Amino acid sequence: MPRLPFKTQKIRQWLIALSCDNCQGSLLSIVQFIQWRDTQETKENSSQSICEIDETSDLIYCPKCSGFMTKYQISNQTHNRLDLCFRCYETWIDSGEWQLLQQLDLKNKLENIFSESWQNNLVHDVAEEKAEKRVKNHFGEAFNKINAFKMWLDTYDKKNDVIDYLKKRKPK
């Protein structure tokens, strides 16, 4: 049973979580979420800009079993992270994070966020962004022209011939 005074709260029709009156956060069973998601036929999509939600950086304990919860990055578009208890398979959703998941179109992919492949993809995306930034800095104003040529070259059927031609040195 939860340690703190929780009350049941309807996050969406037929999706119930335990809600904290103090911080407005919610404890949601991943199993219950998957069952709810699999019965949903309509998909909501929000095209609003991404809202900023306060993130709890402190280590938190599972309100049900008092075990440590592990933080998982939601997306590279936000600094927010969801907390997961491996004992109970419950996630703590800070106030406003459900709306954030909707805005990022991730509310139906909640359990994926906790997967190793999801987290690895986020790390990979950050590394690619940093690499592209270094390339942009290296080439400066010429980057846009180089990038346009690269995009064209990627679709050209004689790409390898062009690369071979560009690699040839002019005779002196």
* Cα 103 from chain centre: 11
Rounded to 10°, the helix 143-155/159-167 angle is 130
Going by C-beta distance under 8 Å and a sequence separation of 6 or more, which residues neighbour residue 57? none
The per-residue pLDDT for 58 is 77
Q: The pTM is what?
A: 0.68
Mean of the per-residue pLDDT values for the chain? Answer: 86
Q: Are 87 and 65 in contact (CB under 8 A)?
A: yes
- Using 50, 70 and 90 to split pLDDT, how confident is the model at 11? confident
In the block, tokens 């999706």 appear at 15
8 pLDDT more than 80: yes
Over residues 17-73, the pLDDT tens digits come to 999 888 888 999 999 999 998 887 655 544 455 555 666 667 889 988 999 999 999
Over residues 64-74, the pLDDT tens digits come to 899 999 999 99
The per-residue pLDDT for 91 is 94
4 pLDDT more than 70: no
Strand positions, DSSP E, the chain: 6-12, 15-20, 26-29, 70-73, 81-85, 90-93
More confident residue, 53 or 113: 113
100 pLDDT more than 50: yes
Task: Give dist(CA 78, CA 40) in Å, integer.
Answer: 26
Task: Give dist(CA 127, CA 121) in Å, integer.
Answer: 10
- The residue-averaged pLDDT of 12-17 equals 86
